């Protein structure tokens, strides 16, 4: 039974008022398998799970029994100790490397392990985040911080987090931070990296806390001089450690094969010893009593007992049938192979100065045993560099270039659009259809509304390095591409605060009041913003997957929806990523009432997401369709050749993508995942194992 933890903090100290007894864990973590005291017993336990090692230990026990041993126990103990020592040294080296990685993250002016829940800590640029923190303030304007989450989710693009304005006013004033008095209610520890639910109560006001206010352990602070954060979770309760499994001893297919082979050798050895013991039994029965030439026959000795002793004697004599150096030879080969991986120039990426690195010497040969590859598309097969390629606005498609006869012209860099009319245009942006620029210049209302939506409906942050030099920080490359497109066509996003968004519309500065952001997630597949224009007009702007947007359109958009669908299918057939855009005007009285319910839902802990989703569904309906966008994400160099070679090696490849079916099929052919010689490509639409099996039949 879990209950929300009730934290209050004063003077950098956090006390807990919970419905159940609770104690705080330290911030210390452990990802290595051993420590100084457990290394020897644990490592020996792991090594003796190998059958050959257990066999030689058993053989050593037999050799200390004088009645059956004809060899000295030294002949077994020396090679066995040597084998165990070599393997232990290799395992210790691997574990020390893991421990050093921990130490590299732990030792700062104050050790990470000493950080307590409730501490207010300062982080500086390029430092790892020490625990799960509530961001309080930062050196950046609007109390933004930029973080890299590659250690958490593998994504290399920077993400933006922003402190609440009420805590951002604390700045870097130590006295104010020490006097900060408030109350945090938050969810119990969990492994959801993309979700956080909590509230901050300060000065009689309650403020909602979500993932955009939280810095997770394992992130790296980038492009931010400093920031202060309140420790909410530490050590094993952080989301990073909640996602980490326990370190286990992994066995490779070679290890399992060697165990099977050793068992077969044991069987052969047992048969040989049994045959020899049976021979000894009959010899003792027939000849043993007369065979007293050198030594007198021992009293009480019979043929059965003699055969029993002979069996174990031959186990010792024939012990070399099982090669004691088998495992250590394999370990040495693995170690050498790991060096070859580190030194391989063909696995060196010169652009980022990144060589291949074998982080374990135990699993190298498993790379050659792979049968299935499960791959993401965006950022793995593709470059994750999005470019605005085409669009559809009010039933007209833009992006292709035609000659005077109506034939499509091959697009080259020669006929790119001249954006010199816009002093704030991004010089790296390229577009080829001059008709869209002319529509903007002619002040086509639908075209202006289209780009106004792109300039307002996003979570991008703008940074102006010098006069006119804008730098956009987008959590999603798609958003960055769309905002850049709007910028070049005259709708320049300049800045934002938690309460407003400022854009330059065809040379005129305009500031929109930002009233609500209806966040995107993988279930909603859309995002919306509600803004008030300088003239006082309330509008909701929405963008998302076309199937989701179409479900929420007003019935008057049916004809426009049919035309736009044709354009979307054309874009998807070219492998482009598509989004639909829509808007609606809002009634002031209705919105005031909806806003109050939205605030209540956003500051509750119980079922916050469900309550917010219900409110979002309520207001995101009867939308008016504006058009659609098409973004290109090119394949990375060498992807088609790599997939072709893997397919020839009979490796089964699965690619996961959230694109439309037509886009996914086009990408499949582009990267050689699907090939023309395939007889048929069929779609499996089942949502359960039974449905899928039925379709496959």
Give the residue from 166, 160, 198 showing the smallest Cα distance to 496. Answer: 160
Give the residue from 539, 500, 596, 529 showing the smallest Cα distance to 165. Answer: 500
The residues pairing with 213 across neighbouring beta strands, listed in sequence order, are: none
657 belongs to an annotated ligand binding site: yes
90 belongs to an annotated ligand binding site: no
490 belongs to an annotated ligand binding site: no
Residue pointed to by tokens 């899928």: 692
Compute how many other C-beta atoms are within 10 angstroms of the C-beta atom of residue 606. 8
Q: Where are the beta strands (DSSP E) in 117-210?
A: 120-124, 132-138, 144-148, 159-162, 182-186, 198-202, 205-209
Give the residue from 689, 639, 254, 626 showing the smallest Cα distance to 455. Answer: 626
Angle in degrees, 0-180, between the axes of helices 434-441 and 445-456, rounded to the nearest 10: 100
- Phi, psi angles (nearest 5°) of residue 37: -90, -30
637 belongs to an annotated ligand binding site: no
354 belongs to an annotated ligand binding site: no
CB 79 within 8 A of CB 60: no
Q: What are the C-alpha distances in Å from 674 to residues 96, 375, 509, 649, 695?
A: 44, 15, 49, 16, 20
Of these residues, 11, 169, 179, 376, which one is catalytic?
A: 376
- Phi, psi angles (nearest 5°) of residue 267: -60, -45
Distance of alpha carbon 629 from alpha carbon 651, whole angstroms: 36
546 belongs to an annotated ligand binding site: no
Q: What sign does the CA torsion over 677, 679, 685, 690 have?
A: negative
Sequential DSSP letters for 309-360: HHHHHHHHHTGGGS-TTHHHHHHHHHHHHHHHHHH-GGG-BGGGTB----S-
658 belongs to an annotated ligand binding site: yes
Q: Burial of 638 by CB count in 10 Å (0-12 exposed, 13-18 middle, 19+ buried)?
A: exposed
Active site residue 342: no
520 belongs to an annotated ligand binding site: yes
525 belongs to an annotated ligand binding site: no
Reading the block at residue 671, the tokens are: 């990267």
Rg (CA), the chain: 35
479 belongs to an annotated ligand binding site: yes
Residue list for the binding site for Mg(2+) = 376, 378
- List the catalytic residues: 376
Residue list for the binding site for ATP = 376-378, 479, 520, 543, 577, 657-659
Residue list for the binding site = 376-378, 479, 520, 543, 577, 657-659
């Amino acid at each position: 039974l879990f209950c929300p933890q009730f934290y209050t903090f004063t003077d950098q100290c956090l006390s807990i008022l919970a419905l159940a007894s609770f104690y705080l864990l330290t911030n210390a973590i452990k990802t290595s398998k051993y420590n100084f005291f457990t290394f020897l017993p644990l490592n020996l336990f792991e090594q003796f799970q190998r059958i050959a090692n257990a066999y030689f230990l058993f053989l050593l026990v037999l050799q200390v029994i004088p009645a059956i041993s004809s060899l000295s126990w030294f002949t077994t103990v020396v090679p066995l100790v040597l084998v165990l020592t070599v393997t232990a040294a290799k395992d210790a080296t691997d574990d020390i490397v893991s421990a050093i990685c921990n130490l590299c993250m732990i030792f700062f002016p104050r050790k990470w392990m000493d950080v307590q829940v409730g501490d207010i800590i300062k982080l500086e640029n390029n430092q790892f985040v020490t625990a799960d923190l509530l961001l309080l303030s930062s050196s950046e304007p609007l109390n933004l911080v930029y973080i890299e989450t590659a250690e958490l989710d593998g994504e290399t693009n920077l993400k933006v987090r922003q402190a609440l304005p009420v805590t951002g006013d604390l700045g870097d004033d130590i006295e104010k931070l020490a006097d900060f008095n408030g109350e945090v209610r938050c969810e119990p520890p969990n492994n959801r990296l993309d979700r956080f639910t909590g509230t901050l109560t300060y000065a009689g006001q309650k403020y909602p806390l979500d993932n955009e206010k939280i810095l997770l352990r394992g992130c790296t602070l980038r492009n931010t001089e400093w920031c202060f954060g309140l420790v909410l979770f530490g050590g094993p309760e952080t989301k990073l450690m909640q996602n980490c499994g326990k370190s286990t001893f992994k066995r490779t297919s070679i290890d399992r094969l060697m165990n099977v082979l050793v068992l077969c050798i044991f069987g052969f050895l047992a048969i040989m010893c049994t045959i020899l013991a049976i021979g000894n039994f009959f010899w003792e029965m027939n000849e043993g009593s007369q065979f007293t030439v050198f030594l007198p026959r021992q009293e009480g000795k019979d043929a059965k007992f003699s055969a029993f002793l002979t069996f174990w004697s031959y186990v010792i004599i024939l012990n070399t049938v099982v090669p004691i150096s088998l495992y250590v030879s394999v370990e040495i080969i693995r170690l050498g192979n790991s060096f070859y991986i580190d030194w391989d120039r063909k696995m060196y990426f010169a652009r980022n100065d990144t060589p291949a690195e074998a982080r374990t010497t135990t699993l190298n040969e498993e790379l050659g045993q792979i049968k299935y590859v499960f791959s993401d598309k965006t950022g793995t097969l593709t470059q994750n560099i999005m470019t605005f390629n085409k669009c559809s606005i009010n039933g007209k498609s833009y992006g292709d270039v035609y000659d005077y006869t109506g034939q499509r012209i091959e697009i080259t860099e020669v006929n790119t659009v001249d954006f010199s009319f816009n002093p704030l245009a991004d010089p790296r942006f390229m577009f080829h259809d001059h008709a869209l620029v002319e529509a903007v210049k002619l002040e086509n209302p639908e075209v202006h509304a289209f780009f106004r939506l792109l300039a307002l409906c996003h979570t991008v942050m703008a940074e102006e390095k010098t006069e006119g030099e804008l730098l956009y920080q987008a959590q999603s490359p798609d958003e960055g591409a769309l905002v850049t497109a709007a910028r070049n066509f005259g709708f320049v996003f300049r800045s934002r605060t938690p309460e407003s968004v400022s854009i330059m519309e065809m040379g005129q500065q305009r500031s929109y009041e930002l009233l609500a952001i209806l966040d995107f997630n993988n279930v909603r597949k859309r995002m919306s913003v509600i803004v008030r224009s300088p003239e006082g007009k309330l509008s909701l702007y929405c963008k998302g997957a076309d199937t989701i947007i179409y479900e929420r359109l007003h019935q008057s958009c049916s004809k426009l929806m049919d035309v736009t669908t044709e354009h979307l299918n054309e874009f998807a057939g070219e492998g482009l990523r598509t989004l639909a855009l829509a808007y609606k005007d809002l009634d002031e009285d209705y919105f005031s009432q909806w806003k109050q319910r939205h605030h209540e839902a956003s500051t509750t802990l119980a079922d916050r997401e469900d309550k917010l989703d219900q409110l979002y569904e309520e207001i995101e309906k009867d939308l008016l369709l504006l058009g659609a966008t098409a973004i290109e994400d090119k394949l990375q160099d060498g992807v088609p050749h790599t997939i072709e070679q893997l397919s020839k090696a009979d490796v089964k490849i699965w690619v996961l993508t959230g694109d439309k079916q037509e886009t996914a099929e086009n990408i499949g052919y582009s990267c050689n995942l699907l090939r023309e010689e395939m007889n048929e490509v069929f779609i499996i639409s089942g949502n359960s194992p039974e449905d899928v099996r039925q379709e496959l039949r």
